[in-house]
Amino acid sequence: MPKQTSEIDHGRRRALKCMAWAGTGLAWTMAGGVPFTTGLVGGAQAAPVPVPVPATGLTFAQISDSHVGFDKPANPDALATLREAVAGIRGLPNQPAFVIHTGDISHLSRDEQFDAADQALKELGLPIFFVPGEHDVLDDGMGAAYLARYGKGPNGKALGAGWYSFDHGGVHFIALVNVLNLKAGGLGNLGEDQLAWLADDLRAVADSAPVVVFAHIPLWTVYPDWGWGTDDGARALGLLKRFGSVTVLNGHIHQILQKVEGNVAFHTARSTAFPQPAPGSAPSPGPMKLPADKLRGALGVTTVSYRPKSGPLAVVDATLA
Amino acid sequence: MKRRLAALLICAFVPVARAETVEIRIDNFTFSPAEVHVAPGTTVVWVNADDIPHAVAATDKSFRSKVLDTEERYSRTVAGPGTIEYFCSLHPHMTGRVIVDGGGGQAAGR
């Protein structure tokens, strides 16, 4: 139905054009299978731009890269800013149905860091779906500590290194792990087992079902010189080609980047801990050190611009305000 | 010993060392020097000078350090001769090489 499609596109464009948020988490709303951001989180810095939320829509939030335990000059208290993100989500007028955390929950995979993060996240009072970041699999068991804590997934279904899928509100969600068995000189890695599982998992999903994929490291190649990409990410995306609406949500790079390619919309989320430089803009991707009064602004205020879905392959850089 | 090593590293433009200890700094997501020639029996020490943790892992999986937070170090005595290829297991685009060959060769590191 072309009319419906056009309405969706219009709504999406309008939402993306208007989109501005302050705070350290994002809230996503699904309408007609197309996600767009809604409202803002922790909105002390800027006025909210209200986006209508359909009564039947599904809203969920994304938190990423909380790095609990990080205490370097870029942010001496990463737990405090995570708490602020949590408080911001709790203050959303449209409460999300659940939260996804796209990895680097902890800074060094230490029990006390996971404990502190869990305590802070519990305040959400919402189900939280996790995927690990490379900072969450630093224990001697190379991810055993993460799996013991978060490996159940929804309904006890997490597999392998912690991947799983679930359905909510007509949307098929896929949680992927791309931070293990990394190879020298390489990028993020999904591996054969996970790709085989993904192919099998998608078999029962109708082409028309909106699909949301989330993983820590971007599944698309953002900036290989800094390791920002996934070696076999294209294979996962190949399996998703037949779906009409695919949204890929990642973290890892501590800034918002976005592109739309065909039916696939790619987004990376901000960190709740510290910003990282835009690709290639600094000698390394290390934490950006800002004056204390600038930190929350850098974490919290971003404008996202829109590129038409049919446009050329493009990465849209959001400035770190 | 440390002073002698430091002097050696500062004075030498090529990271060639006959000392018993050679330091490789991890700075700006780079192993520096990325390639070093050492004599058999040398202790190689990696020091993390970044604000982000790193880890040192042999490409052939023969060894792997614990995660190194800022200013933490990992040391390993190399027998050789031979070439040890390694990378950061958190940031695998970071790679380096220790060539155990008597320490007299020219380094081609970055």
Q: What is the CATH number of the domain that holds B71?
A: 2.60.40.420
User: Which domain range does residue A195 map to?
Assistant: 2-51+58-317
Higher pLDDT, B18 or A216: A216
Task: Give the pLDDT score at B46.
Answer: 98
Average pLDDT over residues B21-31: 97
Asked if residue B21 belongs to a domain, the reply is: yes
Angstroms from B99 CA to nearest CA on chain A: 17
Average pLDDT over residues A261-289: 92
Total tally of structural domains belonging to chain B: 1
Please say if the pLDDT value at position B23 is more than 90: yes
**CATH code of A41's domain:** 3.60.21.10
Q: Using CA atoms, how far apart are residues A39 and A53, in angstroms rounded to an integer?
A: 9
Higher pLDDT, A226 or A93: A226
The secondary structure of B11-78 as a DSSP string is: H-SS-EE-SSEEEEEEETTEEESSEEEE-TTPEEEEEE-SSS-B-EEETTSS-BPPPB-TT-EEEEE-
Q: Which residue of chain B is at minimal alpha-carbon distance from A179?
A: B90
Task: Give the pLDDT score at B20.
Answer: 87
> B34 in contact with A at a CB cutoff of 8 Å?
no
ipTM above 0.95, yes or no: no
Please say if the pLDDT value at position A316 is more than 60: no
A142-173 pLDDT, tens digit each: 999 999 999 987 877 788 999 999 998 888 99
Please say if the pLDDT value at position A250 is more than 60: yes
Total tally of structural domains belonging to chain A: 1
In single-letter form, the type of residue at position A3 comes to: K
The tokens describing A158, both together, are 């997490």
Chain A residues near residue B66 by CB distance under 8 angstroms:
138, 140
Q: How does A205-233 read in b/e, with b if 16+ C-beta sit within 10 Å?
A: beeebbbbbbbbbbbbebbeebbbbbbbb
Task: Give the pLDDT score at A244.
Answer: 86
A28-82 pLDDT, tens digit each: 555 444 454 443 444 433 334 444 444 446 788 889 999 999 999 999 999 999 9
> A49 in contact with B at a CB cutoff of 8 Å?
no
Task: Give the pLDDT score at B4.
Answer: 53
Q: Which of A211-225, A284-298, B96-110 reaches the highest mean pLDDT?
A: A211-225
Residues 73-92 of A with CB under 8 A from B: 73-74
Chain B residues near residue A108 by CB distance under 8 angstroms:
53, 67, 69
Residue A239: burial class (beta carbons within 10 Å; 0-12, 13-18, 19+)? middle
Q: Which of A52-66, A242-256, A295-309, B52-66 reaches the highest mean pLDDT?
A: B52-66
Asked if residue B106 belongs to a domain, the reply is: no
- B92 to A285: CB separation less than 8 angstroms, yes or no: no
Residue with tokens 């685009």: B93
> A67 in contact with B at a CB cutoff of 8 Å?
no
Cβ neighbours of residue A99 under 8 Å, at least 6 residues apart?
Answer: A25, A60, A61, A62, A63, A89, A121, A124, A126, A127, A128, A129
Task: Give the pLDDT score at A294.
Answer: 80
B38-88 pLDDT, tens digit each: 999 999 999 999 999 999 999 999 999 999 999 999 999 999 799 999 999
Please say if the pLDDT value at position B21 is more than 80: yes
User: Which domain range does residue B17 map to?
Assistant: 2-100
CB of A148 closer than 8 Å to CB of A194: no
Which of A82-96, A281-295, A304-318 is predicted with the least confidence, judged by mean pLDDT? Answer: A304-318
Please say if the pLDDT value at position A112 is more than 70: yes
Asked if residue B29 belongs to a domain, the reply is: yes
CB of B102 closer than 8 Å to CB of B81: yes
Asked if residue B107 belongs to a domain, the reply is: no
Residues 59-78 of B with CB under 8 A from A: 59, 66-67, 69-70
Asked if residue B34 belongs to a domain, the reply is: yes
Task: Give the pLDDT score at A26.
Answer: 58
Provide the pLDDT confidence category of residue A106 given band limits of 50, 70 and 90. very high
Asked if residue B109 belongs to a domain, the reply is: no
Asked if residue B32 belongs to a domain, the reply is: yes
In single-letter form, the type of residue at position A47 comes to: A
- B30 to A227: CB separation less than 8 angstroms, yes or no: no
Higher pLDDT, A58 or A249: A249
Asked if residue B59 belongs to a domain, the reply is: yes
